[in-house]
Structure 1
C-alpha cells in the first residue's frame, strides 16, 4: 500500500483528514512530495468535517489542532507536522493508520504553523 500525504485535524475525538497517494504527486526539487490540499479551503469551503459526521458550520479551520503529512523521497520517510497537542499515542496511531504509515519510516515534528489556541 502506498504512503499517503495530506492534511488532518483532530476534532471531537475524531481524525478529520483528506489524503492522497504520494505516488500520484510530483516531488519538488528537494525530493519532497506534498499535497496541494489547503486546510482553509477544505474546512471552510468544502466543509470536510461533514464527511466525518461533525456539524461545525461557521467554524474556523484554525480553531482545531491540525497537521500535514508529506513524504521525503530521498529518505523514503513520511514527515508528519502537527500541533504539539496531538502528539499523543492514540492520536498518532490514528494518523499513521489513515495515511498508511504503520509499517513505514515516519518522523514527527511539532510546528508553530499548526499551533491551535483551542483545546481538544
Structure 2
C-alpha cells in the first residue's frame, strides 16, 4: 500500500507514490507523503499530451491518499469530479488500496471548479 498525490486525466491515474513504510506522520494519527502537487508538477507533466504541459497543476483533477493509523484505513481526498466508481477503482489499483478499507472524501482544496479556484487563489484573471 502507498500514500501520495495523484492526478487523473483521460481516465488514467498518475502521480507520486510513497510506500506506507516511508510515509511521514504529519497530522497526529495520519501517515502522509512528503510529496506535494506544486513540486511534483514539473516532473509529472512531461508525461501529459503537449497541449497540457504548459498548464498549472490545479487544472487537472487531483487528490491525495493518506493513511489513518487510528482507523487503519486509507483516506482519499480528491476533486468532486473524480467521485465515480471506475475512477475510485483506478486510484485504488494505482496506490494498492483495499477499497473496503478506504474512505473517499471531497475537498475543495483539490477542486477544478473555476469558482472554487477563484475563492482559493483569488481572482485568476486579474
TM range (shorter): 0.7 to 0.9
Q: Does the CA contact (< 8 Å) of 1:4 and 1:99 recur in 2?
A: yes
Q: Does the CA contact (< 8 Å) of 1:16 and 1:49 recur in 2?
A: no
Instruction: From the CA coordinates, give the structure whose radius of gyration is larger.
Output: 2
After TM superposition, the runs of 4+ consecutive aligned structure 1 residues lying more than 2 A away are: 25-29, 53-56
- Residue 8 of structure 1 deviates from its aligned partner by 0.7
Higher relative contact order (CA 8 A, sep 6+): 1
Q: Does the CA contact (< 8 Å) of 1:71 and 1:79 recur in 2?
A: yes
Question: For residues 16 and 26 of structure 1, do their structure 2 counterparts lie closer, same or farther at Cα, with a shift above 3 Å needed?
Answer: closer
Counterpart position of 2:109: 113
- Residue 103 of structure 1 deviates from its aligned partner by 5.7
Cα distance in 2 for residues equivalent to 1:14 and 1:70: 20
Q: Deviations along 1:10-39, whole A, 9 cap, x unmatched?
A: 112221221110111232461211111111
Counterpart position of 1:92: 88
Of 88, 98, 102, which residue of structure 2 is paired with 1:102?
98
Cα distance in 2 for residues equivalent to 1:69 and 1:76: 13
Q: Which runs of 5+ in 2 are unaligned?
A: 115-126
> What CA RMSD, in Å, does the superposition of the two structures yield over aligned residues?
1.8
Cα distance in 2 for residues equivalent to 1:70 and 1:40: 18
- Residue 49 of structure 1 deviates from its aligned partner by 3.3
